[in-house]
Amino acid sequence: MKNHLYKAKKILDKNWNGKFTVPSIHLYPHQWNWDSAFIAIGYSRYDTDRAIQELKSLFDAQWKNGMLPHIVFDKNNLGKYFPEPDFWKTELSKNAPENHLTSGITQPPIHAYAVLKIYENSKDKKKVKEFLKWIYPKLVKLHRYLYLERNPDDNGLVYIIHPWESGMDNSPMWDPVLKRIDLSQVKLPDFERKDNRIVDPEQRPGDDDYKRYIYLVDIFRKNRYEDRKIFHECPFIVFDPLFNSVLAASNKALMKIADIIGENCRQAEEWYLTTSRSMRDLLYDNNRGIFYAYDYIEKKQIKVETSAGFMPLFGGVASHSQALKLLEYMNSASFCQIHEDNCFAIPNYDKTKKDFSTKNYWRGPVWININWMLYQGLKRYRFKQKAEHLEKTILELPVRFGFYEYFDSRFGRGYGTKDFSWTAALFIDLFYDYENSKKVGKNIGFFIQILRNEIVANPDGNAISIKSPDEIFFEFNMLSNLIIKKYVKNGSVDYRGIKLSPEYKLFQNIAGKLSIFDPFSLGENEKKAFLINLYNMMVIDFILKMKVKKSVREVDGFFTKIKYRLGKEKLSLKDIEQILKSFKEKDKIIVSLVRGTQSSPPLRFVSPENPLFDINGAVKDFVGSSEVLIFPEEKTVMVSELLKWYRDIFNDAGKIKQFLKEYVSDDRKREFLEKEENPELLYLPYDWYLNN
């Protein structure tokens, strides 16, 4: 993947014109508003100066009333795009900037969010602080403009006046509103599209949509871009869940920026609270489990389900119960279920709708920026498994198919323009994220406890009277199952919750009795399940007893020096692993063990009745996670370093191929594993961070 990081940076270099980065040289040869914010996030990982310059150029063209235009035109590059300044005629507005040519509408205000990222990712905080001081008043001015001019009910819901303002131009969400615009009696200004000469028209918005886009711009021009007048005349006045979620996320970021430079952040906090409250109240539909756009003219929700409806996760707007419903709907056949065949991240529209299209622009394909925001949202709400799955697919798409503008939601193929800037930039961002998370634990930055002598972690439990082996077995299973059910959500373990729980107290008592229990007297299935559960529960117990904060690596000897008395023996995690390696499913078992790390599969209880079912489930999760990346086009398989440690089991690429084949859900990948004799095998670094 390093090679692709290089390619992504090269794309940004190619699209950089010395002042800003165009989204694409051919199709979009000017500066775009939210594109530049995503691009700056990518730069912030390796070139702070460029990231800053990108946003400085954009904000130089901010309107006098605070509006940030959706396009800033490159005067040296006119004539290649439509509509350009001759059509927008923004000079009609008293608010347009003097030294820049711009469009007259805006886009989702993700800039404060991007600015904070630049600060967080920078090495020279002092220098970036200067930039924060420069841009902070401009960000406030932008948000103030939205809350003053676009907030008709004063409830924090901000409206957009054009589909281009949503960034999701021909989203099916806008159909009901656009359809109401009757053009039969209207004399439209002359115009000529350029986009569908560069890109296959099948992948672009239709002419009916374009006519309406132009009709709306004509209204704005006639009203000299005066918001109050446009509000009364424009047939498209809509509360967009994406726009408002992005605004909420940016308000949160603005609060942090204010804090860093010593400004008062009360206003941003108030904006954040009112917008999110109103979104929860007015845009959410509990039956469907999604947020809808709201048609302000008809005063009703627009019941069309698109990825914008999940954006309240990104904005931190959704309540806990709403977030769970969003996850449920997002992770279903309507969008993309983990392990679903032929599923390439979250498409832009519900796949089960009859007008869903795998290739038409915002009517079904997969977009990297949208998936990147959903990934951030899933992480924010700690939906670990889904977040990981998404991270992996986002990274995979450009590697497999190229850095395209959008991707076919069924076959992954790239559409729109090639070498698209935000695809490259957000790939870079995720790549660094991914690499950094894998480095944790290798870097001995935290306190290390070196265990010289062995520790027995299950001293004799006198608190309970002697129990029979049967009772011990029963209670051990019951308590392990209960703890996992109660304190593991989406693969994350709530260690603090376990520590304080009555179940953990009881578990320790029963663990103290394991010295009178002989696991070797159990039947084959029961023994297998017991030893796996024991391993996983010992990991939890050791983490708590050793007061591990970030990683089991804080304890040198975690796997070898801490032991449980079991029957007549004292066994460490390594010893138990050794016993487990004697089972014929040793390959699956090794992969399914939960070592208290981010690279482990989500913790589950293995049932003594049918252990293989749960073991298979864990392996499937592992193969579906970012621990395994398969690139048929590049004839490459990347797997967790874990498999390298167990070379005695996974001795070569052939064995690994064989192993993965059974669990891969994507047809193309399975086919590749079946056919390819010699795939290149690369190992991914192990993520030692705690799975909490």
User: Which residues are catalytic, by number?
Assistant: 169, 405
> Which segments of 167-298 does DSSP mark as H helices, in order?
175-179, 195-198, 207-222, 227-233, 241-261, 266-278
State which residue, 174 or 381, has the beta carbon closest to ligand 9WN: 174
Closest CA to 467 of 518, 520, 516: 516
What whole-number distance in Å separates Cα of residue 134 and Cα of residue 478? 60
Q: Which of 54, 84, 195, 295 binds ligand 9WN (CB under 6 A)?
A: 195
What whole-number distance in Å separates Cα of residue 253 and Cα of residue 275? 14
Instruction: For the CB of residue 348, give the shortest distance to ligand 9WN in the complex, in Å.
Output: 11
Contacts of 191 (CB under 8 A, 6+ apart): 82, 83, 87, 210, 214
Neighbours of 96 (CB within 10 A): 24
State which residue, 11 or 539, has the beta carbon closest to ligand 9WN: 11
State which residue, 34 or 136, has the beta carbon closest to ligand 9WN: 34
Q: Which long-range contacts (CB under 8 A, 24 or more apart) does 449-453 make?
A: 449/546, 449/554, 449/555, 449/556, 450/556, 450/557, 451/555, 451/556, 451/557, 451/561, 451/562, 453/561
Q: Which of 4, 23, 385, 638 binds ligand 9WN (CB under 6 A)?
A: 23
Site for ligand 9WN in 160-179 (CB under 6 A): 164, 167, 169
Q: Which stretch binds ligand 9WN (CB under 6 A): 26-34, 137-145, 327-335, 501-509?
A: 26-34
Instruction: For the CB of residue 58, give the shortest distance to ligand 9WN in the complex, in Å.
Output: 12
| Residue 35 binds ligand 9WN (CB under 6 A) | yes
State which residue, 23 or 461, has the beta carbon closest to ligand 9WN: 23
Give the 3-state secondary structure of residue 30: coil
Site for ligand 9WN in 498-557 (CB under 6 A): none
Element (H, E) at 289: none
State which residue, 193 or 570, has the beta carbon closest to ligand 9WN: 193
Q: Which stretch binds ligand 9WN (CB under 6 A): 32-40, 454-462, 635-643, 662-670?
A: 32-40
What whole-number distance in Å separates Cα of residue 270 and Cα of residue 61? 27
Q: Which of 34, 210, 239, 434 binds ligand 9WN (CB under 6 A)?
A: 34
Q: What are phi and psi of 275, to 5 degrees?
A: -60, -45
Q: How far is CA 394 from CA 125, 255, 416, in A?
A: 29, 29, 17
Q: Which stretch binds ligand 9WN (CB under 6 A): 29-37, 86-94, 504-512, 630-638?
A: 29-37
What whole-number distance in Å separates Cα of residue 417 and Cα of residue 31? 16
In this structure, what token pair is assigned to residue 382?
């700690």
Contact characters 640-659, ligand 9WN, x per CB under 6 A: --------------------
State which residue, 70 or 657, has the beta carbon closest to ligand 9WN: 70
Instruction: For the CB of residue 341, give the shortest distance to ligand 9WN in the complex, in Å.
Output: 29
Instruction: For the CB of residue 398, give the shortest distance to ligand 9WN in the complex, in Å.
Output: 16
State which residue, 98 or 192, has the beta carbon closest to ligand 9WN: 192
Contacts of 113 (CB under 8 A, 6+ apart): 37, 246, 249, 250, 252, 253
State which residue, 34 or 284, has the beta carbon closest to ligand 9WN: 34
Instruction: For the CB of residue 80, give the shortest distance to ligand 9WN in the complex, in Å.
Output: 12
Contact characters 60-99, ligand 9WN, x per CB under 6 A: ----------x-----------------------------
Burial of 333 (0-12, 13-18, 19+ CB in 10 A): exposed
The answer to whether the Cα torsion of 526, 532, 535, 539 is positive or negative is: negative
Instruction: For the CB of residue 23, give the shortest distance to ligand 9WN in the complex, in Å.
Output: 4
Q: Count of residues binding ligand 9WN (CB under 6 A)?
A: 10
Instruction: For the CB of residue 393, give the shortest distance to ligand 9WN in the complex, in Å.
Output: 20
DSSP 459: -
In this structure, what token pair is assigned to residue 334?
């309507």
DSSP 75: G
Instruction: For the CB of residue 28, give the shortest distance to ligand 9WN in the complex, in Å.
Output: 5
Instruction: For the CB of residue 195, give the shortest distance to ligand 9WN in the complex, in Å.
Output: 6
3-state helix, strand, coil in the chain (%, to 5): 50, 10, 40
Closest CA to 318 of 368, 364, 381: 381
State which residue, 195 or 388, has the beta carbon closest to ligand 9WN: 195
| Residue 28 binds ligand 9WN (CB under 6 A) | yes
Positions that interact with ligand 9WN (CB under 6 A) = 23, 28, 32, 34-35, 70, 164, 167, 169, 195
